[in-house]
Each structure stands twice: as structure tokens, then as C-alpha cells.
Amino acid sequence: MSEILESTEIGRPMVRQDGPAKVRGLAPYAYEQPVQDPLHLHPVQSTIALGCIVSIDTSAAEALPGVVAVLTHENAPRLANTDDAELAVLQGHEVGFRGQFIGAVLAESPEVARQAAAAVVVDYEAEEHDADFRADHPQLTEPNAATADTFDGDVDTALRAAAHTVEATYTTPAEHNNPMEPHTTIALWDERGLTLYDSTQGPHPVRQTIAPVFGLQPDQVHVIAPHIGGGFGSKGLPHANVVLTALAAQRSGGRPVKLALTRQQMFTVAGYRTPTIQQVRLGADDDGRLSAVAMDAVEQTSKIKEFTEESGQPARMMYATPNRQVTQRLARLDIPVPSWMRAPGKCPGMFGPEVAMDEIAEACALDPIELRVRNEPESDPETGKPYSSRRLLDCLAEGAKRFGWDRRNARPGQRVQGRWRVGLGVAASTYPFLRQFSEAKVSYSADGTYAVHIGAADLGTGAWTALTQIAADALGVSAHRIRLEIGDTALPVASVAGGSSGTASWGAAIIAAADEFLAKFGVEPDPGAEVQTAAPRDSAQKEYAMHSFGAQFAEVCVNVDTGEVRVPRMLGVFSAGRIINAGTARSQFIGGMSMGIGMALHEQSVMDARFGSFVNHDFAEYHVPANADIADVDAVWLDEVDPLAGPLGARGIGEIGIVGAAAAVANATYNATGIRVRDLPLTPDKFL
């Protein structure tokens, strides 16, 4: 257990340190980094889902004025390592999914590059592909790298004996992360190696991944990413676009090469959340105590690279029961490679079970909050470890009070306002605590300021601000004496901004460096005094189950005539340990909840299995919530410090806001209408 840092700056809603530069357009995103005389890249993408390229004719493209080179598998430089098939671009003639990069044009302008890419003529030998995701897919397989199946007790026997059961199939569609800033890279080779200006959630993880692909030592790859326009997991690890840009820059005559993916390209090469089919079975006795919990999830992955969403995860740990079964199976298809999207596993995995909890509460004639009270475990059902903190019931109680839960009519379809049916819904939320290895450097300058260096990334989450506050308290000075530098592999190693682990991981490193600095140099150091160190490992995670929890409350209106669903009011109450910045934290929570409303009502990547292609691949056709969809969304948190969650006592907040949100909205639509929709999104046609 670490000593908890005293707070002066921490907790304040300090305004974003990067805000003024951003509103004035002075904060450079990857594509805007000033480079000399760049060339522009545009990819050529496959139009078949499976097969190989017989011939590829680039003559028309090469003949266009302004075209410098057209790269294909026939002439592209060889990569040193092709183990990761997603990253092995232009290394062979095989095609593994529709939209895969099979070429690229280097040109003097992005327009010419795009025109030339369209002029490349490809002759394929297509094979019969399989892009049809379904629960009865004939070749469902166990994941190679995921949590093993859970079989505790005997679920089938318990279900047969249960007074009340719910057995239903719930589905979540494929969803795309769709950060506002597209995936963007500038690559430049020189005698020192490779420089990448990249829109990434982790400069060091990019270096770690890219260096071996090109046969480089990590210190030969310099990644720079001071500002990022969102990622939601899709920039957690580099995708094929980064390799393609670096590869093309080997043929640019030393000129920098720029690539910004189009929105359409982001639907094929930048990751997405797999669709899930969740067979959920719950059994309960007359008192509502769960005698069985089963979650059998089917997901898809790409044949060229395995990714498992782990949507079985929450069912292993949310509620107490003597009989539990959790399995995850994969349909391996000829489709784009899925990847991380905000709260991977937890987010889709809390949809089916949390709607099923609503259903069994009704079967047991219990309020859904009371049902959860009766199934609260004393220790972690998955590991048997004690919790560092589990305050789900406090979140539910606080939320019920604030939201006016007592006004909910347990009978569905009872409240009507004009032509709208009104209902309330609740669901639980959870996200695990994670801390990763990071280092930080603290140095003192003659002007009285402390430089604090760490290679972290700010996706727009507020890392520039929160880390400044942490550094100030760690050094015992006011925030204006901190000069923070992040977003560069020239700075000490930092973990990815993912898994809601950034602030805890980087903050612990900064605190460790500050502690060592103070111990070594005291509060009146000489200019030039400097310390670099890593955060010490923490044993608490071995001994305790450490998760954040939350309660999501939604009020919905469903139009009687048209089936349109609106969410006029939503409240999240979260227990996430200490909150570092009240302003940016609230933005993270309500941002996650807003994305949850999008998951509930709108988001759906439509796969046309005949082609293996997501066909609604732009922002007019793929709907995310717009202003009119987000009304009163509020988030509050329990005032607490988790004494076991490192020296900050903070468990992370980036993802929990989306978890459970869609289930709360779905449960509210049932309360409003009496129609139980188990397939997301909750579009108007489902309520007609």
C-alpha cells in the first residue's frame, strides 16, 4: 500500500492547460506538424474480401502529373518482421479482407495521390469469402489469447430448479470508434532512423511496435504526438496506416510523407468493436438471489489476426452466485481486424447481463436496485480476493435519490406525456483498475520552475492538466511552477493512454520521481538538479480485486406514433477512487455516457456480408449522437480515495462512463413501452 499523496492542486477543476492553444489553432495535431516539402500518400484498397492479386497495373497512375511513385506488393520495400499480418502491408499478393491496403500512391498533392490511387487497375483471383457473422456459425472456436471459460457449479441443474429464470439472446452490433481526428501520420527517414508524427494514444507503444517491423532498435524510432483529437481505443496501437506511411517514406527521396485516412478508410483499417451475440441465462429464487448466471458470448475476428473482445468479463465478477458459466467463442471471418474500442469487453459485455437483470427483477417482482442489493458479493466472485473497494450499492442509492427513482412505476407502459411514453431505467457499471509501467523525469530550472517529463499522450482527456496538478502536489509547489512535457518518445517511457490506466500509471511515475527528487535535493534545489525514475511496482493488485463501479440512470421517451426514442435525462454515479480534476473528469464521465447513448440509440456498422464491407462508412450514414440527442446528461462521483490504488488513490475514469449506459437506456425503454428490445441499437422501427 502506497502512501497517499496530499492534495492541494488535485481535485480542483483547473482549466485545460492546452485549451488556449487549441482554441487559437496553435496546438499542432499530427497532420499539421510543420515539415519541409512533404509528399502525400493515398492508399489503394482491395475490392475483394479474399483471394489474391493476379496483376496490378499502375501505368495510368504513374502517368499522372505529380505522381512520384506507386507502391504495390511487387515493388514495396521489404519489412523486417511480418508476424503481425495486420501490419505486414504490401508484402504479398494475398488479400484477407475488403479494403485492405494493396498499394499506395506518393504524389505532390493529396488530390493527385487520390486521383492516381483510383487509376490503379487490379486483377484479382477471388476466393469465396465468409463475412457472415452468426451465432450458429459452423466454425466457432475458442480464442487463443483470452480468459478461459468459467464453469463454477452446475448452471443447467440450477436453472432447472430455479423459481425464476431469464433465458434470452442479446446482440450488440459492430461499432466504429470514429474519433473526430482521423488516423494521421507523417513519416520521415534520416540518418538517425525514423521520425513519426502520429495521432496515437501512446508514443512509446508505437515505437515498441513499429521498430521491429522495420528492423530498427527502439531508439531509432522517434514518435511525436503532443495533441490528439480522440482515439477511443482505435489509436491505442498502430494500425496498417502507420506502417504504410513509414514504408512509403522509404521511397520519397528523403522527403516527409503525410497520410490522413479518409473517414471511409477508417471503417476498414483502424479497428472497430466486434459485434456480439450474447446468450444470457439467469436463475433466481423467490427472494431474487441468483442461483445461476450464464453468459455465452459469440464475437467475430479477422482470419488474418485474432482479437478477442472479452465480453464475458463482467459476468464473471458482477454478482454473487454459486453456479456460473461464462464462455467466449469467435467466428473467424474474412473481415477487417477488430480492435479496442472504449471499454473493450466490459462495454458490450454489460449490455446483455444488465438487461437480463432488469428482466429477472421483474420476474421476481423486485425493484432492479433491490435485486442488485440482494446479489452483492462479499468478495470478488472471479478470484475470491477481497475488494479494495466495492461501492456499487452506494452508487445505486445515491443515484436513486438524485434521479427520483421512487417515481418509477414498476409496471411498464404506465406513464404518458402527450404522444410520448416515458420510462426510467437503471443499470450497473464497472471497470477494472489497471496500472502500467511508466517513468518520469523531474528537473529544476534557474527560473524557479520544475520541468516534468513523461511520454504520455493526451487524447483530449485532460492529461496535460491532470498531470500538471499531480506534479504540483507531488513537488509541493503551485501548478504554475510546473512545466509539463508529454507526447514524445524523447521523454521517459510512458504506457498507452488506454485501459483507463493513464493517469494512475503516469501519475505514480511523476510522484515517484518527485519523491526521489525531494529526498535528494530538498525544497531548495540547485538549478539543473534532475531525477528520472519509474513508479515502484504495487503489490495491492495481487492481493485485492480492484474495480471501479457505477450506477447509470436513464429517463427515456418513446413516441407512440413513430417509435422515436429520446433520452431527456441521464445520470451516472461513479465510485472511481480519487478524482484528480473535477472539470475534465466530469467531461470524461459524461462523454462516456453520451457515447453510451450513441451505442444505445444510433451506432451500428452495417456489414454487407456479400462483399465483406461495412457499407454505411461515413458520418451521414453512421450515426453518432448530435447535439439534439444529448440533453441533460449529468455525472457525479462518490467522494473517496482508494488507499490501495497507488499513491494517487485514483482508479481511472476514461471508460466506465460508457459501461452500462446502453443497458440503462434499454431498460428505460422497456419501462416506458413494455417492449423488451434485446438488440442494439434501439431504433424507432423496434417500437412500432
Closer residue to another protein, CB minimum distance, 190 or 621: 621
Let me know if 376 is a catalytic residue: no
The amino acid at residue 179 is P
Site for another protein in 352-381 (CB under 8 A): none
Nearest to 91 by CA among 110, 116, 74: 74
CB of 160 to another protein, least distance (A): 37
109: Cα within 13 Å, side-chain hemisphere: 6
Shortest Cβ 631–another protein spacing (Å): 9
Residue closest to 570 by CA, chosen among 638, 629, 649? 629
Closer to another protein at the Cβ: 294 or 565? Answer: 565
Per CB under 8 A, which region of 211-219, 273-281, 343-351, 557-565 contacts another protein? 557-565
Binding mask 497-516 for another protein (x = CB under 8 A): --------------------
Q: By rule CB under 8 A, what string of x and - marks binding of each residue 47-76 to another protein?
A: x-----------------------------
Provide the 8-state DSSP code for 656. T
SS (H, E, C) 109-127: CHHHHHHHHHCCEEEEEEC
Return the ∠ at Cα 293 (arms to 165 and 573), rounded to 5°: 100
CB-wise, 580 or 601, nearer to another protein? 601
Q: How far is the CB of 554 from another protein (least distance, A)?
A: 15
Where does this chain touch another protein (CB under 8 A) — which range of 71-79, 288-296, 491-499, 561-569? 561-569
Grid coordinates representing 183 are 488516423
Phi, psi of 89 (to 5 degrees): -80, 140
Binds another protein (CB under 8 A): choice among 601, 635, 650, 661: 601
> To the nearest whole angstrom, how small is the minimum distance from the Cβ of residue 413 to another protein?
8
Single residue of 128, 406, 524, 685 touching another protein by CB under 8 A: 685
**Site of grid cell 523531474:** 442
In angstroms, give the least distance from the CB of 402 to another protein: 25
**Do residues 499 and 232 lie in contact, with contact meaning Cβ atoms separated by under 8 Å?**
no
Using the rule CB under 8 A, which residue among 163, 560, 636, 638 binds another protein? 560
CB 275 within 8 A of CB 169: no
Closest of 314, 169, 174 to residue 660, by C-alpha: 314
Residues 6+ apart with CB under 8 A from 31: 184, 186, 199, 258, 260
C-alpha cell at position 607: 456489414
State which of residues 157, 416, 522, 543 lies at the interface with another protein (CB under 8 A): 416
Give, as ranges, the residues between 234 and 293 that touch another protein (CB under 8 A): 264
Give residues 94-153 in contact with another protein (rule: CB under 8 A).
111, 114-115, 118
Using an 8 Å Cβ cutoff, are 48 and 130 in contact? no
- When binding is defined by CB under 8 A, the residue of 529, 566, 675, 676 that contacts another protein is 566
Q: Which of 32, 152, 306, 564 forms a contact with another protein (CB under 8 A)?
A: 564
**Residues between 23 and 52 with contacts to another protein, criterion CB under 8 A:** 47
**Rounded-to-integer distance, Cα 231 and Cα 458, Å:** 10
**482 or 567, CB closer to another protein?**
567
Q: Which of 421, 441, 547, 651 binds another protein (CB under 8 A)?
A: 421
CB of 616 to another protein, least distance (A): 6
How many residues sit close enough to another protein to count as binding (CB under 8 A)?
A: 39
What is the widest separation between alpha-carbon atoms in the chain?
A: 77
Site for another protein in 602-661 (CB under 8 A): 602, 606, 608, 610-611, 613, 615-618, 620-621, 623, 625-629
Judge whether 98 and 611 are in contact, CB under 8 Å: yes
Q: How far is the CB of 23 from another protein (least distance, A)?
A: 19
Asked if the peptide bond before residue 143 counts as cis, ω within 30 degrees of 0, the response is: no
Q: What DSSP line would sit under 277-295, residue for residue?
A: EEEEEEEE-TT--EEEEEE
CA 576 to the chain's CA centroid: 17
Candidates 9, 309, 362, 655; catalytic one: 655
Distances in Å between the Cα of 12 and the Cα atoms of 165, 471, 509 are: 47, 14, 21
For residue 454, the Cα-to-chain-centroid distance in whole angstroms is 22
Of residues 427 and 607, the one with the C-beta less far from another protein: 607
400 dihedral zone (left: phi>0; alpha: psi -120 to 50; beta): alpha
* 26 Cβ neighbours under 8 A, 6+ residues apart: none
CA dihedral 456, 458, 463, 467 (to 10 degrees): 30
Residue 480 DSSP code:
G
**Closest to another protein by CB, 561 or 639:** 561
- Closer of 133 and 637 to another protein (Cβ): 133
Segment interacting with another protein (CB under 8 A) among 193-201, 230-238, 282-290, 560-568? 560-568
Q: Fill in the amino acid letter for 200.
A: T
**Closer of 37 and 608 to another protein (Cβ):** 608
Q: Is residue 569 helix, strand or coil?
A: strand
Give whichever of 214 and 670 is closer to another protein, judged by the CB atom: 670
Select 49 or 546, whichever has its Cβ closest to another protein.
Answer: 49
Instruction: Give least dist CB 99 to another protein, A.
Output: 9
The minimum distance between CB 301 and another protein, in angstroms, equals 22
* C-alpha–C-alpha distance, residues 207 and 216, integer Å: 10
Pairing assessment for the beta strands 450-453 and 164-172 based on DSSP bridges: unpaired
> Please, what is the minimum distance in Å from the beta carbon of residue 588 to another protein?
23
Which residue of 563, 636, 640, 675 would you call a contact of another protein, by CB under 8 A? 563
Residues forming the site for another protein (CB under 8 A): 47, 111, 114-115, 118, 264, 413, 416, 419, 421, 560-564, 566, 601-602, 606, 608, 610-611, 613, 615-618, 620-621, 623, 625-629, 683-685, 688
Q: Which residues are catalytic?
A: 655
